[in-house]
Chain A
Amino acid sequence: MKNVLIGGIGNVLLADDGIGPYVARLLAARYTFPDGVEIIDLGTPALDLIDQLSGRDAVILIDSVDAGAEPGTVLTYQKVDIMRHHPAVRMDPHSPALVDALLSAELFGVAPDDVLLVGVNPGSLEPGCNLSKPVQASLDLVASSVLVELDRLGVEYHPQENPAAVEIWWTSDSKVNYEASVTSAGR
């Protein structure tokens, strides 16, 4: 049985940076996963991300990634790609630290074998609770990217018969629910 983390990273108060938490909750509402798979809205972890990575067989993370591409472009990064980057200069212990966390976990012998980062190029990172239109349009592809990775890992999942609504705690605006955009009903 594989120990897998599906983690959504991001600040839900900064527009497209909320993609990670949103997709994590979307997948949790849409599918059932076997024992050993955890889906977590990770919010904005710093080095405490090491605790979440530690001891897993595989980790799939969803986050906004500014790679200079068109808003909504989905790019995926393997573990070796992520670790090739130098850690960003962090002004304080609370700054995001994905590269640091992974490098530290590797150094201390607790890193997962497989890491996939599904990165969505943001349209807007301004204060706000909405995903921009291009990023909304990418939701299908983001969800499929996660599911394809689960296929590759040999992890079975099933679409829920009557999926519940996506749990969104960060706003009461019911327009912030893009489930209609997501048509991938799984394999």
Chain B
Amino acid sequence: MAQRITIDPITRIEGHLRIDVEVENNAVSNAWASCTMWRGIEKILRGRDPRDAWLFTQRFCGVCTTVHAMASVRSVEDALQLEVPLNAQYIRNLILIAHALHDHIVHFYQLSALDWVDVLQIPKADPAATSKLAESLSPWTRNSRNEFKAAQDRVNAVASSGQLGIFMNGYWGHPAMRLSPDVNLLAFSHYVQALEYQRKALQVVGILGSKTPHIQNLTVGGVANAIDLDSANALNMDRLEMVRVLLEEVVQFVNQVYIVDVCAIAAMYPDWFKIGSGVRNYLAVPDLPLDSKASAYDLPGGYIMNGNIAGVHSFKTASDKDFRSAVSEDVAHAYYQGGKPLHPWVGETEPEFTGWNGDQKYSWVKAPRFNGAPMQVGPLAQVLVGYAQGHPLTRKYTDLAIAKIEAVAGIRVTPDMLHSTLGRHAARAIRAGMLAELAQKHLQLLSDNIAKGDYAVYNQPVFPGHEVEGVGTHEAPRGTLSHWVVIKDAKIKNYQAVVPSTWNASPRDGAGAHGPYEASLLHTPLARPEEPLEVLRTVHSFDPCMACACHTFDPSGRQIAKVKVL
């Protein structure tokens, strides 16, 4: 007989997510992903000045901060066919890259690692042996015996106090935990170091964006940064040098710690390359524009259907018609009124809250579909698309990661193994490696352009009399993000955001097709159903960000979530 397990809230994510699974014969036989919170920003934007939209939409989320600001200004620029000066493109790119580096590092260490790392095994570890192992895997200079001993002492203090604090309610000792005490210690020590390096990445965002969370330097048509090599208060060589030094340190951490750890830990859980696949349709948009017209990019985009990697379709630009015309949102199983699926430019946001009903409506997230199909978005999508296209940087870091995993695991890693929970983690680390290299490239591009005497950062937007529509896209840390705006008489007539976690957390559509979270959970084996660690592993691998996925607010009362402390 099927057993129903509800995990609500899912922790170590952004936002409010509830997962229900049915378990039969110790494996997941059915699954539902439900977003349990809802705000209202799409409706708030109606009637407002399009130049202000980015300030509102950035508040979708403070974890994926910057991304919604970027997609918004791009949507208006697209509607106006407005070019963005080179300096503004480079400054925006640097902000996006730095934010993504922070985001990916935090996601692996602070949000995901404790699914795989058993902290309470650490008192049994041998710091000297841990150091020897760590130094055999990486030239990182903070892998000494003393460093690991200090980390172990901290855990010992927590474990012996009886007050586990932030580690309480973890699934310590779960049979699915398989790392040796030494590897657990190695990972935990790097978890603590990761906090320093993600902060450095954010400092770059703060220098260029004026603050973070929620940068202040964007504007439709460019950025508001003043560039002046002779002014102490503008973006000058000193600031660029600060950015350079910070980026260098982050790049080193990504290459010598983050990528190494992901590959080593993945290698120790090889069966997880066969778990957590689900939807094998992938979508990614090109990003990091290299010119003012956004006709060339440093990150590739396209889509893959049914796992046919070789048959990848490429998007030449972010405004590719194949992308714009293909997106629709289905509300059959979502808490909204509506009939047939709607394209975002004619999208509606009228709530209809019914309470959770697995056969009917059960989520505040709409079901986005691409030519009618559910799509998985995120670093895995981007890496597969780029690899299939022969994108050199994607190939470089993918081959590097695969080689590292093979070296530790002693098994061959084939591309189809990336359709999995570990495939997502590996792809995120691969993407971080690519971005680290691109950070230094784009900083050089910016410096060189300024050195030529070009200080331009802004083109003034001009709004026409007739109605215009635009879409702004961004390949965000969690995947393909799109903001769709319709502007009439210089005011927003309609605004719909289809965000990465909308694609991934999608409920079933009218045809009953599962969304990616739901599909990925099917057939997952559970060693102890009452401690569904395996479900968390897969859900976390997507890097959920639910506040972005549903951004409309019900003032008539929040559903009180059932709490199962994890």
Q: Hey, which bits of chain B sit against chain A, CB under 8 A?
A: 9, 14-16, 37, 63, 154, 158, 163, 165-166, 168, 192, 195, 561, 563, 565
Contacts and interface: CB of A to CB of B under 8 A. Distances in A.
Contacts of B561: 91
A108 interface: yes
Nearest to B63: A93
A108 B194 CA distance: 12
Interface of A: 83-84, 86-87, 89, 91-93, 99-100, 103-104, 106-109
Contacts of A106: 165
A106 B563 CA distance: 27
Contacts of B163: 83-84, 86, 103
Contacts of A99: 165
B165 A107 contact: yes
A100 B167 CA distance: 10
Contacts of B563: 89, 91
Nearest to A99: B165
Nearest to A104: B166
28 contacts: A83-B163, A84-B163, A86-B163, A86-B168, A87-B165, A87-B166, A89-B563, A89-B565, A91-B563, A92-B9, A92-B15, A92-B16, A93-B14, A93-B63, A99-B165, A100-B165, A100-B166, A103-B163, A103-B165, A103-B166, A104-B165, A104-B166, A107-B158, A107-B165, A108-B154, A108-B192, A108-B195, A109-B154
A140 B522 CA distance: 61
A106 B156 CA distance: 13
Nearest to B196: A108
Contacts of B9: 91-92
Given A84-B163, A89-B565, 17 more contacts: A87-B165, A87-B166, A87-B168, A91-B16, A91-B561, A92-B9, A92-B16, A92-B37, A93-B14, A93-B63, A99-B165, A100-B165, A103-B166, A104-B165, A106-B165, A107-B154, A107-B165
Contacts of B63: 93
A51 B554 CA distance: 33
B418 to A, nearest CB: 30
A174 B195 CA distance: 45
A38 B561 CA distance: 39
A93 B192 CA distance: 19
Given A89-B565, A91-B9, A91-B561, A107 B14 contact: no
A51 B315 CA distance: 43
Contacts of B168: 86-87
Contacts of A92: 9, 15-16, 37
Most buried by A among B9, B166, B192: B166
Minimum-distance CB pairs A-B, first 9: A103-B165, A89-B565, A89-B563, A104-B166, A103-B166, A107-B154, A108-B192, A100-B166, A86-B168
A89 B562 CA distance: 11
B15 A107 contact: no
A99 B154 CA distance: 17
A86 B166 CA distance: 9
A87 B63 CA distance: 22
Contacts of A108: 154, 192, 195
A37 to B, nearest CB: 26
B566 to A, nearest CB: 10
Nearest to A102: B165
Nearest to B150: A109
A98 to B, nearest CB: 12
A84 B166 CA distance: 12
Contacts of B37: 92
A84 B165 CA distance: 9
Contacts of A103: 163, 165-166
Contacts of A107: 154, 158, 165-166
Nearest to B563: A89
B165 A83 contact: yes
A89 B565 CA distance: 7
B213 to A, nearest CB: 10
A91 B9 CA distance: 7
Nearest to B165: A103
A99 B168 CA distance: 12
Nearest to A109: B154
A8 B87 CA distance: 43
A70 B158 CA distance: 34
Contacts of A104: 165-166
A84 B15 CA distance: 28
Nearest to B158: A107
A140 B63 CA distance: 41
Contacts of B158: 107
Contacts of A109: 154
A87 B168 CA distance: 9
Contacts of A86: 163, 168
B451 to A, nearest CB: 37
A125 B294 CA distance: 53
Contacts of A91: 9, 16, 561, 563
A107 B37 CA distance: 32
A109 B147 CA distance: 13
A109 B37 CA distance: 35
